[in-house]
C-alpha cells in the first residue's frame, strides 16, 4: 500500500512538472513568435479588418482581445484601436468586457494548472505562505489596486493571480480597476488621425507612465503592509 502511494505521488509529481514545462515552453514560444513576427503590424491589420465588418466587428474585436490576453499578446494597440473605431464610450465598454473575459481565462489556466505546484513550493516557507494568505484575505483590494495601474504587466498578472489564493469572485470584481486606464487609453486612441498613427502621441505616453508609477508605489506599500501583518500573525 505504501509503495502504491509513493508510486501515485511520483506520477502526480511527474505530471505537474510536465504541465509546468509545457506552459514554460508555450510562453517562450509566444515570446519568440512575437519577436519573429511584427505583432503590432498584425494587430493593426486586424483592426483594419474589424473596422470593415460593421457591427460584426464588435464580436470579432472582443474575441481577438480576449484571446490576446490569454496568449500574452500586449493589448495596448487594440485598446487604442477601440477608441478610433468605436469611440470613447462604446470602445471603453467593449475593451473592458473583452479584457475581463481574457483575464479570467488566463486566471483559470494559472489556477488549475499551476496552483498545486506553487502550494507545494511555499508550504515550507513561512514568509511566502503569509504573503499568499494576505493576498487571499485582501484579494479584492489588491486586484483593484494593481488594475488601476496601466503600466503593470496585465497579461502576466492574470496568470500570477491564478496561482495565489485570491478567489475568482474577488478577482473578477477587482477588474473594475481597469476602467480608468481603459477609458484613458481609448480616449487617446479616439484622437488618432488614422489606425497607422496609434500610439505615437508622446504626451499621452508620459501621462500614462507618471500615473502608473504613482499607483505602483501605492500597490507595493499596501501589499508590503498587509503581508507583514499576516506574517506577524502567523508567527
Q: What is the pLDDT of residue 105?
A: 92
The sign of the torsion formed by the CA atoms of 93, 103, 71, 208 equals: positive
DSSP calls for 125-150: -HHHHHHHHHHHHTHHHHHHHHHH-T
Separation CA 29–CA 153 (nearest Å): 18
What are the residue boundaries of the structural domains of the chain, listed by start?
A: 1-37, 38-234
End-to-end C-alpha distance for the chain, whole angstroms: 37
Quick one: pLDDT at residue 234? 47
Task: Specify the DSSP class assigned to residue 156.
Answer: H
pLDDT string in tens for the chain (235-residue length): 445 565 666 666 666 566 555 656 555 555 555 554 567 788 888 899 998 988 899 999 999 999 998 888 888 889 999 999 999 999 999 999 999 999 999 899 888 876 766 566 556 666 666 667 777 777 888 888 778 776 667 888 888 888 888 889 999 998 998 888 888 888 888 887 777 777 555 555 555 556 656 665 666 666 666 656 655 554 4
CB-based contacts of 77, cutoff 8 Å, min separation 6: 40, 43, 44, 47, 198, 199
Grid-cell match 508590503, residue found: 224
What is d(CA 121, CA 164) in angstroms, rounded to the nearest whole number? 12
Give residue 235's pLDDT.
43
pTM of the model: 0.70
| Nearest residue to 50 via CA among 38, 39, 63, 40 | 63
Amino acid at each position: 500500500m505504501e509503495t502504491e502511494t509513493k508510486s501515485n505521488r511520483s506520477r502526480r509529481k511527474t505530471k505537474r512538472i510536465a504541465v509546468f514545462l509545457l506552459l514554460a515552453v508555450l510562453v517562450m514560444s509566444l515570446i519568440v513568435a512575437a519577436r519573429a513576427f511584427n505583432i503590432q503590424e498584425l494587430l493593426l491589420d486586424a483592426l483594419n479588418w474589424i473596422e470593415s465588418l460593421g457591427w460584426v466587428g464588435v464580436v470579432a474585436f472582443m474575441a481577438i482581445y480576449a484571446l490576446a490576453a490569454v496568449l500574452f499578446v500586449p493589448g495596448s494597440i487594440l485598446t487604442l484601436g477601440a477608441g478610433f473605431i468605436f469611440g470613447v464610450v462604446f470602445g471603453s465598454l467593449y475593451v473592458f468586457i473583452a479584457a475581463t473575459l481574457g483575464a479570467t481565462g488566463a486566471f483559470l489556466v494559472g489556477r488549475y494548472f499551476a496552483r498545486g505546484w506553487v502550494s507545494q513550493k511555499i508550504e515550507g516557507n513561512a514568509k511566502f505562505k503569509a504573503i499568499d494568505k494576505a493576498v487571499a484575505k485582501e484579494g479584492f483590494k489588491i486586484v483593484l489596486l494593481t488594475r488601476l495601474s496601466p503600466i503593470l504587466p496585465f497579461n502576466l498578472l492574470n496568470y500570477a493571480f491564478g496561482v495565489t489564493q485570491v478567489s475568482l469572485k474577488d478577482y473578477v470584481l477587482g477588474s473594475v480597476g481597469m476602467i480608468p486606464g481603459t477609458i484613458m487609453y481609448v480616449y487617446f486612441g479616439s484622437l488618432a488621425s488614422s489606425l497607422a498613427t496609434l500610439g505615437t502621441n508622446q504626451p499621452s505616453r508620459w501621462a500614462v507612465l507618471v500615473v502608473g508609477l504613482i499607483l505602483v508605489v501605492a500597490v507595493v506599500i499596501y501589499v508590503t503592509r498587509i503581508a507583514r501583518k499576516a506574517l506577524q500573525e502567523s508567527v
